Structure 1
């Protein structure tokens, strides 16, 4: 099945993706810098994505674009 990317822009978008533990793809300067994992927490400046037990990644909200990868 084809996948659909939904851009996560607002706090509501990020909260929804976090609650549903949806896989996240992160772009910075038009390049993929992270794919997989779920949002662990976020605030006005940072989004934290956990891809494994000890695999945490921190991304600046102003510098990155966040997308939910969901199946149709």
Structure 2
């Protein structure tokens, strides 16, 4: 079972971006994204990519982000 570490700060998101870590995204206690990687982030939005043409835009203040460690 993978362990999860929550991502909060810009430094957390930058580390996940640099290391190409897989993440899970939750919104309103529902998992909305699983196994994608962060490709860009701003103060307001985290952009993830799960495949070649699968981009997702997540509002930073409305979602929780977790690094997957297997």
Gaps of 5+ in 1: none
Where does the alignment leave 5 or more consecutive residues of structure 2 unmatched?
none
- Return the TM-score normalized by structure 2: 0.96
- Report the equivalent of 1:5: 4
TM-score (norm 1): 0.93
Aligned to 1:40: 39
Kindly provide the CA deviation profile for residues 26-55 of structure 1, in whole angstroms up to 9, marking residues without a partner as x.
000111011011000000000000111111
Other-structure match for 2:23: 24
Aligned residues: 70
Tell me, what secondary structure is at the counterpart of 2:26? Answer: strand
